[in-house]
């Protein structure tokens, strides 16, 4: 499925709605990039560059429209329970009648309305070595929820390309799909979405992005990303505790900041300019200015905000 082919199947009204949403999304994405101080179209909150970034001389506006429309088409297909060239029996297939998927015995304690994810969380934990309670805590901190507390697998950040239970940016998700040894790469290889060079085929890009809305794919990829970020943190000489709470908090910081910024944050080396940018992106420029004035510098203000946020929202013990 390519965006062009799928768009041809839409009704005129659906097509008009997508075009309007794409134009709005392109504008908000550019404003978001400007707020973060980056105009290279790199991923902005998790530190991974977008492998589909435009080449030299390609108009930025055209790229922004293409990116947002591909994401919109991916969301449209995911909501209809579709992925491209799905393989019968593939464990990553989206059940069109169920999101989150049915199944799972709910034996993991205290998942409440999200008990249907227990089996997937356990499977991801066994494969990655990241405790299931830590994985649940990361999802809880990232995903949108309905009024009953049920995780919304169609979560979408209107200010960026972040989507799904793990709020993965498009560039980071594609990078993981191209990384050998990950669950997502194995599925992409199986479905023929990866070419002989190990890159995502252009015509498969929307299908790969649509996988972010598959709760099984999201949870398994959260586990892979957590394992990778924890390895990066340890290699940098930063100690990570062995208990689920310590693992969850360090993994979440890596998920939130990306492998580059998380090491600088944990070592206290996050510069003033970068700290100010990250803080403004999270609480707005006005709130950042007030927080910095209250603490005396941007690094202290950002550390105080993020530490408090993690403390409130990343609590694996609630699922144990």
| Angle separating helix axes 132-142 and 215-235, nearest 10 degrees | 110
Residue 98 confidence (pLDDT) above 70? no
pLDDT at 161: 87
Lowest mean pLDDT among 4-13, 60-69, 172-181, 259-268: 60-69
* CB atoms closer than 10 angstroms to residue 218: 30
Please provide the average confidence, as pLDDT, over all residues in the chain.
76
pLDDT at 320: 79
Residue 174 confidence (pLDDT) above 60? yes
Residue 79 confidence (pLDDT) above 90? no
pLDDT at 235: 96
Residue 116 confidence (pLDDT) above 80? yes
> What is the average per-residue pLDDT within 173-184?
97
Residue 205 confidence (pLDDT) above 70? yes
Of the candidates 73, 71, 66, the one whose C-alpha atom is nearest the C-alpha of residue 10 is 73
> What is the average per-residue pLDDT within 286-295?
95
Residue 304 confidence (pLDDT) above 90? yes
| Tokens, residue 152 | 């919304």
Show contacts of 105-114: CB within 8 Å, 24+ apart: 108/132, 108/133, 108/136, 108/319, 109/319, 109/320, 110/318, 110/319, 110/320, 111/136, 111/319, 112/149, 113/148, 113/149, 113/150, 114/139, 114/149, 114/150, 114/151
pLDDT band at 41 (very low <50, low <70, confident <90, very high): very low
| Tokens, residue 285 | 């420029």
pLDDT band at 94 (very low <50, low <70, confident <90, very high): very low
Strand partners, 168: 163
Lowest mean pLDDT among 43-47, 69-73, 125-129, 157-161: 43-47
Of the candidates 150, 176, 149, 200, the one whose C-alpha atom is nearest the C-alpha of residue 255 is 176
3-class SS string, the chain: CCHHHHHHCCCHHHHHHHHHHHHHHHHHHHHHHHHHCCCCCCCCCCCCCCCCCCCCCCCHHHHHHHHHHHHHHHHHHHHCCCCCCCCCCCCCCCCCCCCCCCCCCCCCCCCHHHHHHHHHHHHHHHHHCCCHHHHHHHHHHHCCECCCCCECCCCECCCCCCECCCCECHHHHHHHHCCCCCHHHHHHHHCCCECCCCCECHHHHHHHHHHHHCHHHHHHHHHHHHHHHHHHHHHCCCCCCCCHHHHHHHHHHHHHHHHHHHHHHHCCCCCHHHHHHHHHHHHHHHHHHHHHHHHCCHHHHHHHHHHHHHHHHCCHHHHC
Share of the chain above pLDDT 90, in %: 60
> What is the average per-residue pLDDT within 135-146?
95
pLDDT of 213-231, one tens digit each? 999 999 999 999 999 999 9
pLDDT at 97: 29
Lowest mean pLDDT among 6-20, 22-36, 105-119: 22-36
pLDDT at 281: 87
pLDDT of 253-266, one tens digit each? 999 999 999 999 99
pLDDT of 45-78, one tens digit each? 333 333 333 222 323 333 333 334 444 545 454 4
pLDDT at 76: 52
CB 185 within 8 A of CB 250: no
């Amino acid at each position: 499925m390519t965006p062009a082919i799928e768009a041809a199947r839409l009704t005129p009204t659906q097509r008009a709605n997508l075009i309007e949403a794409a134009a709005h999304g392109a504008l908000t994405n550019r404003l978001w990039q400007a707020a973060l101080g980056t105009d290279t179209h790199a991923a902005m909150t998790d530190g991974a560059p977008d492998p589909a970034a435009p080449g030299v001389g390609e108009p930025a506006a055209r790229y922004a429209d293409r990116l947002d429309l591909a994401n919109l088409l991916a969301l449209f297909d995911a909501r209809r329970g579709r992925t491209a060239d799905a393989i019968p029996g593939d464990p990553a297939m989206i059940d069109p009648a169920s999101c989150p998927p049915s199944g799972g015995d709910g034996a993991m304690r205290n998942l409440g309305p999200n008990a249907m994810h227990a089996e997937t969380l356990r499977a991801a934990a066994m494969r990655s070595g990241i405790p299931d309670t830590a994985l649940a805590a990361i999802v809880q901190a990232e995903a949108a929820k309905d009024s009953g507390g049920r995780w919304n697998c169609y979560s979408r950040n209107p200010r960026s390309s972040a989507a799904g239970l793990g709020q993965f940016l498009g560039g980071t998700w594609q990078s993981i799909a191209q990384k050998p040894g990950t669950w997502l790469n194995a599925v992409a290889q199986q479905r023929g979405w990866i070419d002989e060079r190990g890159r995502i085929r252009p015509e498969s890009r929307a299908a790969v992005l649509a996988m972010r809305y598959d709760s099984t794919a999201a949870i398994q990829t959260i586990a892979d990303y957590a394992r990778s970020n924890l390895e990066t943190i340890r290699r940098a000489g930063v100690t990570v505790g062995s208990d689920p709470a310590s693992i969850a908090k360090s993994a979440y910081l890596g998920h939130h900041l990306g492998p580059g910024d998380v090491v600088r944050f944990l070592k206290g080396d996050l510069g003033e300019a970068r700290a100010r940018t990250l803080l403004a992106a999270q609480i707005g420029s006005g709130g950042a200015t007030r927080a910095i004035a209250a603490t005396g510098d941007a690094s202290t203000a950002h550390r105080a905000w993020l530490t408090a946020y993690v403390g409130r929202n990343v609590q694996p013990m609630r699922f144990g």
